[in-house]
Structure 1
Amino acid sequence: MARRPGRNFLFVPGPTNVPERVLRAMVVSQEDHRSPIFPDLTKPLYEGLKKVFKTKDGQVFIFPSSGTGGWEAALCNTLAPGDKVLTARFGQFSHLWTDMAQRLGLDVVVQEEEWGTGAHEEKIEEALVADKAHEIKAVMVVHNETATGVTSNIGAIRKAMDAAKHPAMLFVDSVSGLASIDFRFDEWRVDCAVSGSQKGLMLPAGLGVVCVSQQALNVRKNARLNRVYFDFQDQINTNPSGYFPYTPATPLLHGLRESLACIEDEGLENIFHRHHVLASATRAAVDAWGLKLCAKSPRWHSDTVSAIMAPEGIDAAKIIRHAYDRYNLALGAGLSKVAGKVFRIGHIGDLNELMLLGAIAGAEMSMLDNGVKIKAGSGVGAAQEYLRDNPIEKQATTPKAA
Structure 2
Amino acid sequence: MAATRRPGRNHLFVPGPTNIPDRVQRAMLVPSEDHRSVDFPALTKPLFEDTKKVYGSTDGTIFLFPASGTGIWESALTNTLCRGDKVLTSRYGQFSHLWIDMAQRIGLDVVVQEETWGTGADPQKIEEALRADTNHEIKAVMVVHNETATGVTSDIGAVRKAMDAAGHPALLFVDGVSSIGSLPFRMDEWKVDCAIAGSQKGLMLPAGLGVICVSPKALQASEGKAGRNDRLAHVYFAWEDHRKQNPAGYFPYTPSLPLLYGLREALACLFEEGLENVYHRHHVLGEATRQAVAAWGLKTCAKDPKWNSDTVTAIVVPEGVDAAQIIKHAFVRYNLALGAGLSQVAGKVFRIGHVGDLNELSLLGAIAGAEMAMNDCGLKVTPGSGVAAAANYLRENPLSKN
When normalised by structure 2's length, the TM-score is 0.98
2:184 to 182, 186, 199: 182
* Aligned AA (1:117): T
1:383 to 377, 382, 390: 390
The residue aligned with 2:228 is none
**In structure 1, C-alpha distance between the alignment counterparts of 2:60 and 2:28, rounded to whole Å:** 27
Shift of 1:219: 1.1
Identity of paired residues, percent? 71
2:165 to 143, 146, 163: 163
**In structure 2, C-alpha distance between the alignment counterparts of 1:264 and 1:380, rounded to whole Å:** 30
**In structure 1, C-alpha distance between the alignment counterparts of 2:133 and 2:302, rounded to whole Å:** 30
Shift of 1:373: 2.1
The residue aligned with 1:267 is 274
Q: Which structure 2 residues correspond to residues 101-250 of structure 1 after superposition, within 5 A?
A: 101-223=103-225, 224-250=231-257
Q: Which structure 2 residues correspond to residues 17-28 of structure 1 after superposition, within 5 A?
A: 17-28=19-30
The residue aligned with 2:258 is 251
**In structure 1, C-alpha distance between the alignment counterparts of 2:101 and 2:242, rounded to whole Å:** 26
Shift of 1:273: 0.2
The residue aligned with 2:365 is 358
Query: Per-residue displacement from partner, 1:218-268 (whole Å, max 9, x unpaired)?
Result: 011333110000000000000011110001010000000000000110010
The residue aligned with 1:392 is 399
The residue aligned with 1:398 is none
Shift of 1:2: 1.2
* Aligned AA (2:144): V
Shift of 1:311: 1.2
| Cα contact 1:79–1:222 (8 A) shared by 2 | no
Shift of 1:393: 1.0
Query: Per-residue displacement from partner, 1:301-349 (whole Å, max 9, x unpaired)?
Result: 0000000001111000000000000000000000011000000000000
RMSD of aligned Cα (Å): 0.6
**In structure 1, C-alpha distance between the alignment counterparts of 2:247 and 2:241, rounded to whole Å:** 11
The residue aligned with 2:334 is 327
Tell me, yes or no, if structure 1 residue 2 matches structure 2 residue 4: yes
Shift of 1:205: 0.2
| Cα contact 1:76–1:226 (8 A) shared by 2 | yes
| Cα contact 1:80–1:222 (8 A) shared by 2 | no
* Aligned AA (1:312): E
* Aligned AA (2:209): L
Secondary structure of the structure 2 residue equivalent to 1:311: coil
Query: Per-residue displacement from partner, 1:132-159 (whole Å, max 9, x unpaired)?
Result: 1111000000000000000000000000
**In structure 1, C-alpha distance between the alignment counterparts of 2:173 and 2:392, rounded to whole Å:** 40
Shift of 1:280: 0.2
Secondary structure of the structure 2 residue equivalent to 1:35: coil
* Aligned AA (2:79): N
* Aligned AA (2:245): T
* Aligned AA (1:53): Y
Shift of 1:51: 0.7
2:74 to 59, 72, 75: 72
Secondary structure of the structure 2 residue equivalent to 1:200: coil
Secondary structure of the structure 2 residue equivalent to 1:77: helix
Query: Per-residue displacement from partner, 1:353-381 (whole Å, max 9, x unpaired)?
Result: 00000000000000000111210100000
| Cα contact 1:137–1:169 (8 A) shared by 2 | yes
Shift of 1:203: 0.2
Shift of 1:352: 0.1
The residue aligned with 1:88 is 90
* Aligned AA (2:258): P
2:37 to 17, 31, 35: 35
**In structure 2, C-alpha distance between the alignment counterparts of 1:209 and 1:393, rounded to whole Å:** 27
Tell me, yes or no, if structure 1 residue 304 matches structure 2 residue 306: no
* Aligned AA (1:255): G
* Aligned AA (1:193): A
The residue aligned with 2:64 is 62
Q: Which stretches of structure 1, 4 residues or longer, exceed 6 Å deviation after superposition?
A: none
Q: Which stretch shifts more, 379-388 or 217-226?
A: 217-226
* Aligned AA (1:393): S
**Structure 1 spans left out of the alignment, 5+ residues:** 396-402
The residue aligned with 1:286 is 293
Shift of 1:8: 0.2
Secondary structure of the structure 1 residue equivalent to 2:265: helix
When normalised by structure 1's length, the TM-score is 0.98
Number of matched pairs:
395
